[in-house]
Amino acid sequence: YAQLFTFCRFAMYFSVIFVRIIRLKIKKRMETITSLYDFFTECGQVTTDSRNCPEGSMFIALKGGNFNGNAFAEQALQKGCRYAVVDEPEYAQKDDPRILLVEDCLKALQELANYYRRQLGTRIIGITGTNGKTTTKELIATVLGRKYNVLYTQGNLNNHIGVPLTLLRLKPEHEIAVVEMGASHPGEIHMLTHIVEPDYGIITNVGKAHLEGFGSFEGVIRTKGELYDYLRSRKNSSVFIQNENPYLNQIAEGLNCIRYGQTEGLYVSGHVLKCSPFLAFAWIGEKGLHEVQTHLIGTYNLDNVLAAAAIGRFFGVEEEEISLALSSYIPQNNRSQLEETPNNHLIVDAYNANPTSMMAALENFRHVEAAHKMVILGDMKELGSSSKEEHAKIVDFLDTCNFEKVILVGPEFGCIQTSYEKYPDVDTLIDHLKSDCPIGFYILVKGSNSMKLSRLPEFL
């Protein structure tokens, strides 16, 4: 009996293990991109956030520094997702046909987006550049929206996750898509263009940003140029290029270039009429001169509006319609926004700062007509070993501007020898403003997002 008992016990153990292996084998079937595409077409939309699960959508379990989306797959299904895509077998063992297993969820998201984009064949304009991507993207979409059904990147969703999610929002009725692509390391634009496969491209500009990641300014140019490299390999592609930008011209060889800028006789040329502080400009296409008053702050927006005009003209939007679209566009992106407080007029540009956009903002601000002008600048982040030099250049430039008051915030500016008022962080500045708030000034507030200067308006 003892032997029989032992035998039965072992037999039971083995059968449990055997069943487990079989179940594992069954569930381990990896989805291919075409099968995933079939599931996606049933759903019509994708979510990667288990807190936001539209009924019938497909949940894709991404991983971040602090979370593992796989652990939320069940929850996403309970909340209404039709399928959940996971990449860890232990979350796919249950005998649930709604759970789909792939090798790597991020890769699956990107490949699915690319596959879907190919099936639809929508014309896509890819946009990258150091500054002005979001603004230009929205201007382009506004202009093209006068004639076409346009899909464009929401907000700033321009990275390896945001770009595929944008593509997966495409519907057959979209005629054109404008997709923003951002980068802070070499190779990123190459990777994104191979997901997007744009038919047209625009690099708004190349400037000094994310130097830590790119290694050098040449690194920035090379990375942005990956968009041109891709388009060079495509038939019938075109790029829209700012004519006076020497760096872009250097790398645009062999491409069909549609030119815009300030030189006369271009496909679209234009110039600033006034900027106090909203930009008014004139542009010439095929049908003579148009004068447009915009809601955009800063002369640097001239390039952005001319780019949108050139793209509008290229796609056959009437010139009057282009002007109407550009004058009606009101920026919603929290960049260069004019705010009136009871005490002061503020230009708040506290989301993003790098040497190029800082110089552009200062250059613009020095031409704003006002009796009392003040600037509050926060550190520019991610500049690596060039940081000290770039902050010193900004201080040198400030010396030539004659602003009535200058306040510098952050440790990077803190290292620069200067007599301007300095604060180590925004909290210390806020303490100071509570007892000594300026009154009657036009104030430019600009710095990297992490400097949190967006908290200042309340105290100004």
Give the other-Cβ count within 10 Å of 400's Cβ. Answer: 8
**ω into residue 277 within 30 of 0, thus cis?**
yes
Contacting residue, 81, 85, 311, 361, with ligand ATP by CB under 6 A: 361
Position 156 contacts Mg ion (CB under 5 A): yes
Position 134 contacts Mg ion (CB under 5 A): yes
Q: With the C-alpha atoms ordered 105, 111, 115, 116, is the resulting torsion angle positive or negative?
A: positive
Position 335 contacts Mg ion (CB under 5 A): no
| Token duo for residue 138 | 């929205």
Nearer to ligand ATP, 352 or 387 (CB): 352
* CB of 90 vs Mg ion, minimal distance in Å: 38
**Measured distance CA(243)–CA(258) in Å, rounded:** 9
**Measured distance CA(331)–CA(352) in Å, rounded:** 15
* CB of 144 vs ligand ATP, minimal distance in Å: 17
Residue with tokens 């093209």, as numbered in its chain: 144
**Binding residue count for ligand ATP, defined by CB under 6 A:** 24
CA-nearest of 282, 441, 299, 278 to 364 is 299
Contacting residue, 117, 133, 259, 290, with ligand ATP by CB under 6 A: 133
- 134, 308 in Cβ contact below 8 A? no
- Within residues 330-349, the interface with ligand ATP by CB under 6 A covers 333, 335-336, 349
Question: Tell me, what amino acid is at 22?
Answer: I
Give SS3 for 152: strand
**Measured distance CA(250)–CA(330) in Å, rounded:** 34
* CB of 205 vs ligand ATP, minimal distance in Å: 5
Give SS3 for 84: strand
Contacting residue, 114, 134, 243, 299, with ligand ATP by CB under 6 A: 134
User: Per CB under 5 A, which region of 128-136, 228-236, 254-262, 279-287 contacts Mg ion?
Assistant: 128-136
- Residue 147, CA distances (Å) to 138, 143, 325 in order: 15, 8, 11
DSSP state of 403: -
Residue 412 binds which entry of ligand ATP, Mg ion, none, with Cβ cut-offs from 5 to 8 Å by kind?
none
Position 208 contacts ligand ATP (CB under 6 A): no
User: Per CB under 5 A, which region of 31-39, 146-154, 155-163, 204-212 contacts Mg ion?
Assistant: 155-163
Instruction: Give residue number: closest CB to ligand ATP.
Output: 132
- Residue 369, CA distances (Å) to 274, 275, 276 in order: 11, 9, 7
Position 142 contacts ligand ATP (CB under 6 A): no
Position 204 contacts ligand ATP (CB under 6 A): yes
Strand partners, 260: 242, 268
Contacting residue, 69, 126, 182, 261, with ligand ATP by CB under 6 A: 182
**Measured distance CA(23)–CA(442) in Å, rounded:** 69
Contacting residue, 74, 188, 303, 390, with ligand ATP by CB under 6 A: 303
Position 135 contacts ligand ATP (CB under 6 A): yes
CA-nearest of 149, 198, 203, 190 to 173 is 149
- Within residues 238-267, the interface with ligand ATP by CB under 6 A covers none
CA-nearest of 23, 96, 113 to 60 is 113
**Measured distance CA(416)–CA(389) in Å, rounded:** 9
Residue 336 binds which entry of ligand ATP, Mg ion, none, with Cβ cut-offs from 5 to 8 Å by kind?
ligand ATP
Nearer to ligand ATP, 216 or 333 (CB): 333
Nearer to ligand ATP, 222 or 335 (CB): 335
CA-nearest of 432, 355, 415 to 390 is 355
Contacting residue, 132, 201, 270, 312, with ligand ATP by CB under 6 A: 132
Angle, helix 188-196 to helix 105-120, in steps of 10 degrees? 50
Nearer to Mg ion, 132 or 261 (CB): 132
**Binding residue count for Mg ion, defined by CB under 5 A:** 3
State the pairing for strand pair 278-284/289-297.
Answer: antiparallel
* CB of 68 vs ligand ATP, minimal distance in Å: 28
Nearer to ligand ATP, 101 or 306 (CB): 306
* CB of 357 vs ligand ATP, minimal distance in Å: 4
Nearer to ligand ATP, 88 or 212 (CB): 212
Position 133 contacts Mg ion (CB under 5 A): yes
Site residues for ligand ATP per CB under 6 A: 129, 131-135, 156, 158, 182, 204-205, 300-301, 303-304, 333, 335-336, 349, 352, 356-357, 360-361
